[in-house]
């Protein structure tokens, strides 16, 4: 877990520095950690390291993760097929 926490801090520091270089406050920018093909156990480690915003682009994979990771905030990313809109909107 120490490696995940260290990597998360490194990425957040880089995002904050980029925000400042562009004239924005770091608090105005949110990092979305994409969880595609990552197991719930790894995502849980990221959550325990203090991050709660995740993105997923596969509905079936996302629904399993949403139910197993309480307290996380989720974004559906990528293309969305029309027939899946009714299932995505309430969850994301």
pTM of the model: 0.88
Domain that holds residue 50: 2-91
Q: Which residue has the tokens 């559906």?
A: 76
Q: Could you give the number of structural domains in the chain?
A: 1
Give the span between the Cα atoms of 34 and 37, in whole angstroms: 9
Helix, strand, coil shares of the chain, percent, nearest 5, are: 55, 10, 35
User: 10-69 pLDDT, tens per residue?
Assistant: 999 999 999 999 999 999 999 999 999 999 999 999 999 999 999 999 999 999 999 999
The answer to whether the CB of 56 falls within 8 A of the CB of 74 is yes
Q: What is the CATH number of the domain that holds 42?
A: 3.20.20.10
């Amino acid at each position: 877990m120490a490696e995940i926490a260290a990597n998360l801090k490194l990425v957040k520091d880089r995002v904050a520095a980029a925000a400042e270089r562009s004239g924005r406050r770091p608090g105005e920018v949110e990092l979305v950690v994409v969880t595609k093909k990552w197991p719930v156990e790894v995502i849980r480690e990221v959550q325990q390291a203090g991050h709660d915003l995740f993105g997923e682009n596969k509905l079936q994979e996302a629904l399993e993760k949403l139910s197993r990771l309480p307290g996380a905030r989720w974004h559906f990313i990528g293309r969305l097929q029309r027939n899946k809109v009714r299932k995505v909107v309430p969850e994301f």
